[in-house]
Structure 1
Amino acid sequence: MAMRVGVIILPAQRWEESAATWRLVDEMGFAHAWTYDHVTWRDLRDKPWFAAVPTLAAAAAVTSRLRLGTLVCTPNFRHPVVLAKEAMTLDDISGGRFVLGLGAGVAGADAEVLQRGACPPAERAARFAEFAELVDRLLRGRTTDHQGRHYHASGIVMEPGCRRAPRLPLAIAATGPRGIRLAARLADVWVTNGRARPGQPPAVTPGDAERQVAQLLAACADVGRDPGTLARMVVVANRDSSPLASAGAFAEALHRYAEAGMTDLVVPFPRPEPPFAGSLAVLERVAEDILPRLPGAAT
């Protein structure tokens, strides 16, 4: 079973505490670790919450092999030019271990912070397509000009560029047809967290993943993309059926998502309190008993 496993580490602690978590995940042998990119987050709106980019820069300094990424940067409060510069810098600081996760964004605090007004779904999808396409161009090129509907860039110079050619990896989160097609065109990693639920956090099942993988394969065929060149990552952050309920539950989830066509499984790092309350002992069992049996788990 050639699956890679990663964790989400919330940027919700002061760095003197959080640094130990990033080091631990690196030492445990997980393939990658991610943090959420929000101005504020619904579950911890009135509690400590730190910025993703400096957190990942600090994480790069205390880890040596983990791939590090954002889940996910969105147009809600990000501009492609500034984000591309930050991504290029993180790529350099991390020694080529950074993965830039992008998403369309949803309604909520992040969408309201710059007071741009409501963005209907169709408009949000069009904005995201331009956002992702411009980020892709900026990271591939040395000088970029762009005059679009949502973004403008004049003579942007990206030196020295990314450590990897043609650019650092992009992970695009998408669950709908337009987003999945965009991922098929631009992404190195396609990301799903299942399905949106009105008034509730997203949730995913292996059945959801399997149906979305089928859509992704069809989109790859439509755009002439070899699907074997696109990693498929499922983020299982379900509140009511966590894969970290036990080591056995994790092994079962890993098996079922692999059968659904996923290449990577990501779960939240267990916290002592909600959200994502859980036992660190289970994660340690996963690291000791399951990760060593997975080809590519530490690459």
Structure 2
Amino acid sequence: MRIGVMILPTDHWREARQSWRAADEWGFAHAWTHDHIAWRELAGQRWYSAMPTLAAAAQCTRRIQLGTLVASPNFRHPVPFAKEAVTLSDLSDGRFVLGLGAGGTGVDAEVLGAPPWSPTERRDRFVEFVEAVDQLFRQPCADYAGRYYSAHQAWIDPEGGTRARMPVLVAGSGPTGMRLAVRHGDGWVTNGVAAQRGRAAPEVTPETAAGQIDAVRRMCVEEGRDPATLKVVLMIGNRTRSPLTSVGAFADAAGRYAEIGVTDLIVPFPRSEAPHKGDVRVLEQIAAEVLPTFTED
């Protein structure tokens, strides 16, 4: 199992780059950031854009994979976004991983001034967004015609080969996201479920994750795909029961998730304040003492 960190884009870069460098130097397999205009209780506070942040991170790191967890259709169109992703893949020397999700309600969903999407429209837009991005990566010049998104002679990567070089992860706790991951993704992402959808941050346990993993594996079989070819990426963003309270707590949690088939585990990079308040020294200890005990596939 590979282990990575989520770094919120809240700090000035002169401070933030230290976190990205640390994640790289300590040996984590990947480092991620959220892609929002504003996010949850931090709306109205400092929050930077994901793609430029990752471009900067690509220049101050040397080996770690970098990615969005996750980007959504809320304020993006597949064509310019695919071009940005191709550029980031080049800037990072092939270390960029593209994570896609449906997005949620709230600030991001309303910031462009359009009427809020119904659950059905959000689902359908998500399907088109993933399909379009996948197609744009697979062809030097692509066309796509959907109800919500279109592309005409989109020269995203004239040299071709982007899809072979850039891993794509699809997030989703429900059947739509799972099936899109099975059909179009190199991996599937979950962060558990929320007690109140849209009103509370999702939390995950080994029990809930095991049920979700069983479901996505069944979909692989239904779609004629070997479940072993789909990475299972789990983000532990729990506001309670955090595995970062101690090295022992993390080792125990990581072991349990590895047993149920998680291939990639992600935890928040500790902050000095909520959310994800914690002690960065514990994370450094985890890197030194726990990372070497897990093999990377």
Q: Give the conservation status (yes or no) of the 8 Å contact 1:91–1:162.
A: no
Alpha-carbon shift at residue 167 of structure 1 (Å) = 4.5
SS in structure 2 opposite 1:241? coil
1:235 partnered with 2:204: no
Counterpart of 1:84 in structure 2 is 82
Counterpart of 1:112 in structure 2 is 110
SS in structure 2 opposite 1:270? coil
1:14 partnered with 2:12: yes
Alpha-carbon shift at residue 163 of structure 1 (Å) = 6.2
How far apart in 2 are the matches of 1:214 and 1:269? 29
CA change 1:272–1:182 in 2 (3 A) is: same
Counterpart pick for 1:140 among 131, 138, 141: 138
> Which runs of no fewer than 5 residues in structure 2 stay unpaired?
none
Alpha-carbon shift at residue 42 of structure 1 (Å) = 1.4
Counterpart pick for 2:58 among 57, 60, 74: 60
Alpha-carbon shift at residue 248 of structure 1 (Å) = 0.5
1:193 partnered with 2:191: yes
CA change 1:261–1:228 in 2 (3 A) is: same
Alpha-carbon shift at residue 281 of structure 1 (Å) = 1.4
CA RMSD of aligned residues (A): 1.2
The one-character-per-residue Cα deviations of 1:131-180 (angstroms, maximum 9, x if unpaired) are 00000000111111122101111111123456655341101111101211
CA change 1:140–1:219 in 2 (3 A) is: same
Q: Which has the higher contact order (CA 8 A, sep 6+)?
A: 1
Counterpart of 1:292 in structure 2 is 292
Q: Give the conservation status (yes or no) of the 8 Å contact 2:79–2:156.
A: no
CA change 1:117–1:93 in 2 (3 A) is: same
SS in structure 1 opposite 2:277? coil
Q: Give the conservation status (yes or no) of the 8 Å contact 1:88–1:162.
A: no
SS in structure 1 opposite 2:57? helix
Q: Give the conservation status (yes or no) of the 8 Å contact 1:162–1:168.
A: no
Counterpart of 1:217 in structure 2 is 217
Q: Give the conservation status (yes or no) of the 8 Å contact 2:94–2:165.
A: no
How far apart in 2 are the matches of 1:201 and 1:246? 22
How far apart in 1 are the matches of 2:163 and 2:267? 29
Alpha-carbon shift at residue 91 of structure 1 (Å) = 0.3
SS in structure 1 opposite 2:244? helix
Q: Normalized against structure 2, the TM-score is what?
A: 0.97
How far apart in 2 are the matches of 1:144 and 1:196? 37
Counterpart of 2:164 in structure 1 is 166
Counterpart of 2:148 in structure 1 is 150
> Which runs of no fewer than 5 residues in structure 1 stay unpaired?
none
Q: What are the equivalent positions in structure 2 for 1:89-108 lying under 5 Å apart?
A: 89-108=87-106
Counterpart of 1:24 in structure 2 is 22
Aligned residues: 295
How far apart in 1 are the matches of 2:142 and 2:217? 31
How far apart in 2 are the matches of 1:125 and 1:23? 37
Q: Which moved more, 1:157-166 or 1:263-272?
A: 157-166
How far apart in 1 are the matches of 2:135 and 2:249? 41
CA change 1:114–1:165 in 2 (3 A) is: closer
Counterpart of 2:279 in structure 1 is 279
How far apart in 1 are the matches of 2:165 and 2:4? 22
CA change 1:157–1:176 in 2 (3 A) is: same
Alpha-carbon shift at residue 188 of structure 1 (Å) = 0.6
Counterpart of 2:33 in structure 1 is 35
Counterpart of 1:75 in structure 2 is 73
CA change 1:49–1:143 in 2 (3 A) is: same
Counterpart of 1:44 in structure 2 is 42
Percent identity over paired residues: 52
